[in-house]
Amino acid sequence: MSKGHRSQEKKERNKENRETRPHAFLNHVRVSDIKARVILREIIGKNVTEAQAILLYNPRYAAHLIKKLLDSAVANAENNLGLDAGKLFVQEAHANKGSAYYSRWRLRPKARGSANRIERKVSHISIYLGERAK
């Protein structure tokens, strides 16, 4: 005999494997994944307040986006999980390549009279926070 409907079993299995750390995702953002990784490497392992200060005074465009994402992850930790913001630190941060889109009419000239469309980079950024015992 079966234990239940397949969707119920799947729901229980997903509940067990769900991510319990506070996190935030930013998908399809119009910045290169390489440029975002440069910023993310600076804040991994830092306290949240220190990471916010680094991002605030960084002149790159990706730093502005990542700061908003970090603020969202901190708000998720405080409101959804009831954690103290003073104990949080950036445990993991990823910037993955998204599907690029192409400008419709803009072309880059190539050899022998041909041309390629200009590729616009898109990335998916994710931040995971952890809690330090003080």
Residue 123 · residue 36 · CB < 8 Å: yes
- CA pair distance 88, 74, nearest whole angstrom: 8
Is 74 inside any structural domain?
A: yes
Residue 42 belongs to domain spanning: 32-99+116-134
d(CA 117, CA 28): 20
Single out the residue of 41, 38, 43 nearest to residue 60, CA to CA. 38
Residue 66 lies in a domain: yes
pLDDT (tens digit, 0 to 9) for every residue of the chain, 134 residues total? Answer: 456 788 888 888 888 887 788 999 999 999 999 999 999 999 999 999 999 999 999 999 999 999 999 999 999 999 999 999 999 999 999 999 999 888 778 889 999 999 988 888 999 999 999 998 86
Residue 13 covered by a domain: no
- CATH number of the domain bearing residue 85: 3.90.470.10
Alpha helices (runs of H) in 18-83, residue ranges in sequence order:
33-43, 48-56, 61-80
**Residue 11 included in any domain:** no
12 in a domain, yes or no? no
Q: Specify the DSSP element, H or E, that contains 7.
A: helix 6-17
Decide if 86 is inside a domain. yes
Domain count, the chain: 1
Residue 76 lies in a domain: yes
- Nearest 5°: phi and psi at 45? 90, -5
The answer to whether residue 25 is domain-embedded is no
pLDDT of residue 3: 67
What does the pLDDT read at residue 75? 96
